[in-house]
Amino acid sequence: MNTLRFGIAGLGNMGSIHARAICGGKIPRARLAAVSDPAADLSGYAPDAKVFPSTEEMIRSGEIDAILIATPHFSHTTIGIDALEQGLHVLVEKPISVHKADAERLIAAHTNPRQIFGALFNQRTDPHYTKIRDLIQTGELGEIRRVTWLITNWFRSQAYYNSSGWRATWSGEGGGVLLNQCPHHLDLFQWLFGMPSKVRAHCQFARFHDIEVEDDVTAFCEYPNGMTGTIITSTGEAPGTNRLEIAAERGRLVLEDEKISWKRNDIPTSEFCRTSSSGYATPTTCNIEIPIQGSGEQHNGILNNFVSAVLDGTPLIAPAEEGRHSVELANAMLMSTFLEKRIELPLDGAAYEALLQKKIATSKGNEKLARIPFSPKLTDKFGRPLDKHPSYSQP
Amino acid sequence: MNTLRFGIAGLGNMGSIHARAICGGKIPRARLAAVSDPAADLSGYAPDAKVFPSTEEMIRSGEIDAILIATPHFSHTTIGIDALEQGLHVLVEKPISVHKADAERLIAAHTNPRQIFGALFNQRTDPHYTKIRDLIQTGELGEIRRVTWLITNWFRSQAYYNSSGWRATWSGEGGGVLLNQCPHHLDLFQWLFGMPSKVRAHCQFARFHDIEVEDDVTAFCEYPNGMTGTIITSTGEAPGTNRLEIAAERGRLVLEDEKISWKRNDIPTSEFCRTSSSGYATPTTCNIEIPIQGSGEQHNGILNNFVSAVLDGTPLIAPAEEGRHSVELANAMLMSTFLEKRIELPLDGAAYEALLQKKIATSKGNEKLARIPFSPKLTDKFGRPLDKHPSYSQP
């Protein structure tokens, strides 16, 4: 095989971007063979791609080798499982699922190692983050003591939330900023620092918008070695901040405004603390500015890596299995708020699913969503027919 | 009266600084009349000041009009009550007391409004903070939505903690970074933003040092209007950070590296959120840099203001009564950690005192402290004779 035939499920915001990238030659060894979206209009850029009225038919058509799932969140699991069972390679948008139990079901369906199963965590290609990851993994920074990440540059207006009935509802998205905007950073957080052992969070629901779900979050993470992590995110602040601060044995590193600034301690902090005869002195430091060009290949980088994984056996940048962690972090933050307590990880996925089901049962989104056309044969992991769910259009 | 005769209780780190300021002419209308400290050596700069072996005698000597209390924390309450009852003006170092119940006892002893009772919150004279307070109080910033304050530039070595038996013990200080280093910022926090209604904190004890008390804190504050506040402080990080970020209706203000940077929204965030027809746009902003010279008069400013309050009736910059808030915040953060739950304010002072007493009962500091000379007649607010407490020397 020299060319990978892609089918894209869902031609909304992200699906369209991927379709145009493939058709525009940005993914050299990929071809857009089909899409499944009742509202698809490919006339402008992909007149040869087949349009299937349902994802199920596209999966079984024999026209595609790989499916890119860019439908609303809840259907990622259902479509992903179906596609894996039918032998396709699968590339799934974030979040891989809405909740941990679903993520585990999806991952469990990936039994054939020759099927490539990736997730669209495009920010893993950003050289700022790959550089920081190198500094951590090579031990250059030394043991990490504290991480504080302000990610409040996700401002969305009320008009954004009004643009579609499924948005920011429990039944449509299964959460707010943690499930829609922030999964990238939750993924990067665990990719850089590993998973915490405990999570305590304070989510505010509908604080800034007329929605059902969380649009403001402050979360505190504990690690077995004492490391602490604070994540603050919101879609209600403007202008927002994206500032990652890492306090480590070898000093303090800050990523902000695309710049990495590292004040490097000449002596590790704990050694200085033990050996200094002065009560107030601090280790001498040097200032290291790390030049970074651009923000990497982003979505196209992930798509090319996926194609290369299928055709050449290249390791994936973002295996879908690793997508379970950002889902678990988001779930733990919501669960901590629902139950008003600290959550120990690993999270009890069934308990979280039960809590989420209660939210969905009273979700205003249910009636809005019923109006959206659907492939009726698939059911979601709550056992509801998918025609109660939005699986296709992201207007 | 044209000159205020000061007596300083405790000639340790801070007491010596205040004594030298007075004797050096920095407080024009004040005279250092006496000190109480068995280890006092004033020969170099204040040969005329009387040295009393006990604070009790100094208070009753008739030689002083005002007492400046710069002894270790626990004795602030006892000495302060004694001095107020004897009719002196009182200026007390931070924290005014170690815990809320003691602070209330101390404040209750201030019954005569003609006695001036101030606290040494010198950072209230810093023009960075007075400017930010102006921007808040005049409504320039608009309603505040989130505050994140990283205050980790309090690094102390193990040698610092080893320098005295009372340091960083439950019996000697009644806490760690929250009671010793951070009270200034806790005071500024409530001075700028008011008191929260709920506090959830995660304190780590002896994380970075061989001590009994907290040297690392992440605290989350909730306000009735939804405002959130996160405070992170530590004596174990180097190089540290002091960065205050305020997200408000009128944009984002950051104080860091002595600079105030304000990205001001042309339209308030919530109005833009409601009225924008774009889903992703943010309000246009202008960048405002606010030039600030120096860091204000600090300790000498507070001393001069105190003298002026006594002699001229000038309002105090930091009335001691307001010192109860920083104590309550510190107590709430510790209590939240002890009980592993969110604490509602106002805090139950008696309940916190009982928790603290348990810590003190098993404190390693007790035996170390017994060796420090004391005025035996005064008892502390736990009913223990003060000869179990350090009241004088801060070596």
Tell me the DSSP string of A145-157.
EEEEEEE------
Q: What is the ipTM of this complex?
A: 0.92
CA angle A318, A322, A323 (to 5 degrees): 90
A252–B240 CB contact, under 8 Å: yes
Q: Tell me: the pLDDT tens digits for B197-237?
A: 999 999 999 999 999 999 999 999 999 999 999 999 999 99
Please name the member of A150, A159, A274 whose beta carbon is closest to the beta carbon of B148: A150
**B127-149 average pLDDT score:** 98
B220–A222 CB contact, under 8 Å: no
CA angle A269, A273, A275 (to 5 degrees): 115
User: Which pLDDT score, from 0 to 100, does residue A19 have?
Assistant: 96
Which tokens belong to A248?
Answer: 């480590």
A161 secondary structure, DSSP code: H
Please name the member of A216, A226, A285 whose beta carbon is closest to the beta carbon of B204: A226
Which tokens belong to B107?
Answer: 């404040």
**A300-304 average pLDDT score:** 98
* Mean pLDDT of the residues in chain B: 92
Q: Tell me: the pLDDT tens digits for B336-362?
A: 999 999 999 999 999 999 999 999 999
User: Which pLDDT score, from 0 to 100, does residue A45 have?
Assistant: 82
Question: What is the crossing angle of helices B349-361 and B100-108, to 10°?
Answer: 120
* Alpha carbons B372 and B359: distance in angstroms, whole number: 20
Burial annotation B353-375 (CB, 10 A radius, 16+ → b, else e): bebbeebbeebebbebbeebebb
Beta bridge partner(s), residue B199: B221, B343
Residue A354 burial (CB count, 10 A): 11
Please name the member of B156, B159, B222 whose beta carbon is closest to the beta carbon of A202: B222
* Alpha carbons B36 and B340: distance in angstroms, whole number: 42
Q: Decide if A81 contacts A105 (C-beta within 8 A).
A: yes
Burial of A361 (0-12, 13-18, 19+ CB in 10 A): exposed
A234–B146 CB contact, under 8 Å: yes
Sign for the pseudo-dihedral over CA of B46, B49, B53, B56 = negative
Burial of B52 (0-12, 13-18, 19+ CB in 10 A): buried
Q: Which residue of B has its CA nearest to A199?
A: B202
A239–B251 CB contact, under 8 Å: yes
Q: Tell me: the pLDDT tens digits for A147-163?
A: 999 999 999 999 999 98
Q: Which residue has the tokens 């001001």?
A: B264
> Which chain B residues have a beta carbon less than 8 Å from that of A240?
252, 282
Compute the nearest-CA separation of A176 from chain B (Å).
Answer: 15
Residue A41 burial (CB count, 10 A): 12
Burial of B269 (0-12, 13-18, 19+ CB in 10 A): buried
Q: Decide if B331 contacts B213 (C-beta within 8 A).
A: no
Helix (H) or strand (E) holding A369: helix A365-369
Residue type, A21: A
Residue A367 contacts by C-beta under 8 Å, 6 or more apart in sequence?
none
Residue B42 DSSP SS3: coil
CA distances to A29, B80, B86, B312, B313 from B308, in Å: 80, 20, 21, 5, 7
Which tokens belong to A325?
Answer: 């962690």
How many residue contacts between A and B have a Cβ separation below 8 Å? 158
Give which of A14, A144, A146, A222 to mutate to test B binding, by max B Cβ within 10 Å. A146
**B181-195 average pLDDT score:** 98
User: Which pLDDT score, from 0 to 100, does residue A156 have?
Assistant: 97
Q: Tell me: the pLDDT tens digits for A307-334?
A: 999 999 999 999 999 999 999 999 999 9
Residue B58 DSSP SS3: helix
**B141-154 average pLDDT score:** 98
Question: How are beta strands A89-92 and B285-290 bridged, if at all?
Answer: unpaired
> Does the structure show a pLDDT above 80 at A173?
yes
User: Which pLDDT score, from 0 to 100, does residue A368 have?
Assistant: 58
Q: Decide if A381 contacts A73 (C-beta within 8 A).
A: no
A252–B274 CB contact, under 8 Å: no
Q: Decide if B218 contacts A230 (C-beta within 8 A).
A: yes
Compute the nearest-CA separation of B240 from chain A (Å).
Answer: 8
Please name the member of A160, A247, A342 whose beta carbon is closest to the beta carbon of B237: A247
* Alpha carbons A347 and A342: distance in angstroms, whole number: 11
**B241-264 average pLDDT score:** 98
**A134: Cα separation from own chain's centroid:** 21
User: Which pLDDT score, from 0 to 100, does residue B102 have?
Assistant: 97
**B111-119 average pLDDT score:** 98
* Alpha carbons B360 and B380: distance in angstroms, whole number: 13
